[in-house]
Homo-oligomer: A and B are copies of this chain.
């Protein structure tokens, strides 16, 4: 049983204490040990510690303050560039300019990211995943000089915590888990499974602040709107094309 997993809190405020190189190295070593597809290791990690690069990255993350304030930022990328170069230098013809290869590399990048986060947390650091990496991948590509074959998948800010938030509510395990086959949710299942979330004090505050009738409306009308999701879906597709992951005939499949 790994206590970091059960006590995980997202940390958005960091103290000024620097993170020692030894700890960063341990975190990166953990990432590199991660399970991955065919041991191809088709991901890269960009370590940002310089203020000027943090400032350049900030708009890509909608200027969330953690990006400028965290001592260390890791951007995990799907990366077939290195593997493709190796193939070409070894008289092998790489066929990784397609959607399956992108998703494979994205999965590898995330497994590595979670290893890194847990080792960071076990060293007393706090972490925050920034989902915004897939909202503005074009901006991140520009700032970090990512070549063709490389797409940012997630960004993690880390540093020693300067806050001590309570454990976040989660849906009960029975909401997430299905035994043997998927059992679709009836109306009363949804009511029961979301009841704790809906009664949660923090969530009720959200609702009041946003003057919404239901917590679900806070998500659909404010936090994750259809309009934004479609806009950023298009950005993401354009980036996949630009980075060379839609380089085949897929007209029959969509």
Stretch binding the partner chain, chosen from A30-38, A58-66, A157-165: A30-38
**How many copies altogether?**
2
Given contacts A5-B119, A49-B180, A93-B220, contact A173 B39 (CB under 8 A): no
Whether A199 sits at the interface, judged by CB under 8 Å, is no
Per-residue contact bits, chain A 89-108, to B (CB 8 Å; 1 contact, 0 not): 11111111011110110110
Of the candidates B43, B119, B187, the one whose C-beta lies within 8 Å of that of A176 is B43
Partner of A131 from B37, B215, B219 at Cβ < 8 Å: B37
Question: In the complex, A182 Cα to B135 Cα: how many Å?
Answer: 20
B8 & A190 in contact (Cβ 8 Å cutoff): no
- Which of A4, A30, A35, A221 has the most CB atoms of chain B within a 10 A radius of its CB? A35
Known: A92-B217, A110-B111. A145 touches B181 (CB 8 A): yes
Measured between beta carbons, the chain B residues less than 8 angstroms from A6 are 29-30, 33
Chain A residues within CB distance 8 Å of chain B: 1-2, 4-6, 8, 10, 25-26, 28-35, 37-41, 43-50, 53, 81-83, 85-87, 89-96, 98-101, 103-104, 106-107, 110-115, 117-119, 122-123, 127, 129, 131, 134-135, 143-147, 150, 153-154, 168-171, 173, 175-182, 184-185, 187, 190-191, 193-194, 213-217, 219-221, 223-227, 229-230, 232-238, 241, 246, 248-250, 252-254
